[in-house]
């Protein structure tokens, strides 16, 4: 994964084949952070908390690890089906949702090259033993503090 490019720290605009991937909630209330950016700039739909919408892709990071893992698995499938698109993943789950990069990054262990990850996620993945993949629930099943 070290050869992979990283998501820019701040995304103000998208190239013609780029999709903005952001953390959401089940209700699709895109009121703050990257979710607000997705809503205001990249076509996220208010009330839609999962999946492709406009030039953005919502991953529910607020409804627990299993839901987040399923949404990441669906994102990976969408990326596999659309190799002409580049999915720019923001540091989903590491803000208000309370997850760490260590919690979230392993969910992307099997992501194709057109899924571009934040540097913090790549650092976690690069530190994993080679060949490690235990599916959509990640490595350790950890969670945010207090969860």
Q: Residues 60-69: what's their mean pLDDT?
A: 97
Residue 96 is assigned to a structural domain of this protein:
yes
Q: Does the pLDDT value for residue 110 go beyond 90?
A: yes
Q: Does the pLDDT value for residue 30 go beyond 70?
A: yes
Residue 8 is assigned to a structural domain of this protein:
no
The count of structural domains within the chain is 1
CB atoms within 10 A of CB 20: 24
Q: Does the pLDDT value for residue 132 go beyond 90?
A: no
At residue 108, the pLDDT reads: 97
Residue 14 banded pLDDT, cuts 50, 70, 90: very high
Residue 128 banded pLDDT, cuts 50, 70, 90: confident
- CA–chain centroid gap for 129, Å, is 22
| Encoded tokens for 32 | 């703050």
Residue 6 is assigned to a structural domain of this protein:
no
Domain range enclosing 48: 24-137
Residue 143 is assigned to a structural domain of this protein:
no
At residue 130, the pLDDT reads: 66
């Amino acid at each position: 994964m070290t050869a992979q490019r990283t998501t820019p720290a701040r995304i103000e605009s998208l190239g013609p084949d780029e999709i903005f991937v952001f953390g959401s909630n089940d209700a699709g209330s895109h009121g703050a952070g990257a979710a607000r950016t997705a809503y205001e700039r990249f076509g996220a739909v208010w009330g839609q908390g999962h999946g492709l919408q406009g030039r953005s892709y919502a991953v529910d990071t607020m409804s627990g690890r299993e839901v987040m893992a399923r949404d990441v698995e669906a994102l990976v499938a969408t990326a596999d089906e659309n190799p002409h698109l580049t999915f720019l993943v923001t540091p989903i789950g590491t803000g208000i949702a309370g997850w760490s990069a260590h919690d979230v990054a392993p969910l992307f262990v099997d992501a194709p090259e057109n899924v571009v990850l934040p540097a913090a996620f790549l650092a976690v993945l690069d530190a994993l033993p080679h060949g490690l993949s235990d599916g959509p629930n990640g490595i350790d099943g950890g969670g945010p503090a207090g969860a």
